[in-house]
Amino acid sequence: MRKHIQHRDFLLDIYIEDTDFQGFVYHANYLKFFERARSNFLLENGIFHKDLVQNSLAFVVKRAEMDFLLPAKLEDSLVIKTAIEKKSKARMIFYQSMVNPEDGKILCRGVIEVCLINLITKKPQIFPNDLLLIFNKGELNE
Give me the catalytic one of 20, 51, 67, 130.
20
Half-sphere exposure for 32 (CA within 13 Å, toward CB): 11
- CB-based contacts of 77, cutoff 8 Å, min separation 6: 11, 12, 13, 14, 101
Nearest of 133, 83, 88, 73 to residue 109 by alpha carbon: 83
Catalytic residue list contains 20: yes
Q: Which residues are catalytic?
A: 20
